[in-house]
A and B are shown apart, each in its own frame.
Chain A
């Protein structure tokens, strides 16, 4: 298929449009540094940060620590999601289970999970287990709440139709309830994804010897702010990509869903 030149220029125009806030941000940053509005010791210029970034990337320092952080975030997110979906489903299906779990969920929902990091460090020591436990707990709650909501709001007529078509009680979650809850589960997953980065990095700052969080903390302590900003920029980029990948997966898996379709249509010119 031929690519029409006007389609290319339209794509380029859209790309420029999307990048312009980022360009503006860097320009303001530069302006703030060079005008002396802020002390350049505390806020290094974009060029210095870029040089530090190049140094970190070429030295392999970033890749090594990024891998550690991503491993902790991913394992905690996966465990938290699986358990959260299961608990949310059980709450929706059993009044008794719900009665037991609701006070615990309600009590810990608004608690900042990072407050528990020192406690976890005491129990699990410095390293992977503490970080994964903190990420797990933070991801668990949004998954529980959103899965529960999705399952509970499954239209009764869908469940009844499935039963009249020979669906057993065992098959009901996998065939109907969790599928109907999928848009809500994805909403929970996006929130949990954000939490997984927050908790992995904040745990590393307090109780770890490796990871991006530790790196940021160390550069901050040493006053090498250009390197600190470079490390932050890396994790921002990775978190952004992770969120986009989740959104992409959501659009593919929720093609059947009205809001996914509407969202998709809106993006088209």
Chain B
């Protein structure tokens, strides 16, 4: 396990209430979490437990009670140090693939030559050479999500926030994308916070898995995943180590889902 010497992200007693027609609904209550530099942490929990809300608070998109501290400074809204990828891709539909990837660079007034260099490299990384001038509507779901990831990486954020990034993809594409993400993480050693409801995905990708309770959400259990990520997927997924931890995580999530009166946790 990684030692959390200096937490990159510290979530301190964060609470969030939403207004609804039936009065305020508490989505999160006194949630605490620390993520070390270079760590890959997944948050798993029953649907509606507030795990995405927590991610949006870390992103600075939602106000909340409590503090989110990045590099020992409390955040004040969104910033380029935290890149985000959403389930629904959120590409700018009016920009081509290369302009989507270059969007963050344009805001920072990066020179044309550097811009082109970065875009060319990232298009190579995501394997979309030849698609530079396409609009998002001309791409498949998997291609869109690759562009979204490249767009985020272009700004070179220290932290990646991933909100069920592969939830809308078919099973085969999802596995390919997970392998690509793993490769990018191993290469760049970015700090990653991933929200997912897919237990296998969480075990396959993360150093640590945090289980969230049903609403109001709190992190109630954590699992450290100590697997050799350089092993090929088949070997890893079929190994007894992998399945032991996967079963533990799955049982924990299931308990939460049952407690919430829901049975919508994917047991795969």
Contacts and interface: CB of A to CB of B under 8 A. Distances in A.
Contact of B151 (A165, A175, A255): A165
Interface of A: 155, 157-158, 160-168, 171, 175-176, 179-180, 182, 255-258, 261
A261 B137 contact: yes
A256 B93 contact: yes
Contacts of A162: 92, 103
The 10 closest A-B pairs by CB, nearest first: A165-B104, A157-B90, A163-B78, A166-B107, A256-B94, A256-B135, A161-B90, A166-B80, A157-B86, A160-B61
By secondary structure, the A interface counts as helix
Interface string B77-105: 11110111010101011110000000110
Given A165-B103, A179-B92, A182-B94, 8 more contacts: A160-B90, A163-B60, A163-B77, A164-B84, A165-B83, A165-B155, A168-B107, A255-B135
Contacts of B78: 160, 163-164
B59 interface: yes
A73 to B, nearest CB: 29
30 contacts: A155-B88, A155-B90, A160-B59, A160-B86, A161-B86, A161-B90, A161-B92, A161-B151, A162-B92, A163-B78, A164-B61, A164-B80, A164-B82, A164-B152, A165-B104, A165-B107, A166-B104, A166-B108, A166-B155, A175-B107, A176-B92, A179-B92, A179-B94, A180-B93, A180-B94, A182-B94, A256-B94, A257-B137, A258-B93, A258-B137
Contact of A163 (B61, B88, B136): B61
Interface in B150-190: 151-152, 155, 157
A171 B104 CA distance: 12
Nearest to A165: B104
Contacts of B108: 166
A255 B93 CA distance: 10
A262 to B, nearest CB: 10
Contacts of B135: 255-256
A180 B92 CA distance: 8
Contact of A257 (B93, B104, B107): B93
Contacts of B151: 161, 165
Name the residue in B60, B104, B155 with the highest tally of chain A Cβ atoms < 10 Å from its Cβ. Answer: B104
A33 B94 CA distance: 53
Given A164-B83, A165-B103, A256-B137, A157 B88 contact: yes
